[in-house]
Amino acid sequence: MGRKTVYTLLLEMIKYEQNFGAYWIYLALKKGYLQKEDDPSRIYEVPFTDEEIAEIREMNQRDVLGINRIKLYATSVSPTQYALYFAQTPYDAQMLHASIYGTKPTKWHSIYNQHKYTSIYHKETDEEIYMFVLKERVKEFPYYIGEVAVENVEEKSLVN
């Protein structure tokens, strides 16, 4: 494996959806505080102002680097079961759901930020897998993940 650089660290942060760190490096490169070939330890030396930190947060909110284009959506299929989908929009998930279940639910929950480090048993691959790893493996979206049981119906939190 090649030498670790600021640029390879940026790519890893994008891949593993470490948004704040990715935007930190991106802005530092853009402003000339860092160069692509710098040692990654240099990221701690970047003299960002409060305004620049606000700019990082704003870029993250707008998803400038396209880190979070695919989201995890859930919709209820029974009082204790939810169908899960990777999709760009709730509409994309809704259309796939309609082709699988024959209905078009209108209530969708965007749950990726809360559950990207949640592991599930995935029948298709016969393995326990983290959501962010499964998302990386999927080649075509929208994608039906399957159903999960809700442990506490009153809180409607997805737990596996």
State residue 155's pLDDT score.
45
Find, among 26, 17, 19, 76, the residue nearest to 46 by Cα.
26
State residue 34's pLDDT score.
97
Domain residues of the chain, as ranges? 6-62, 71-158
Q: Is the pTM of this model over 0.85?
A: no
Q: How far is CA 12 from CA 82, 103, 144, in A?
A: 31, 39, 26
**pLDDT-flagged residues of the chain (< 70):** 1, 152-160
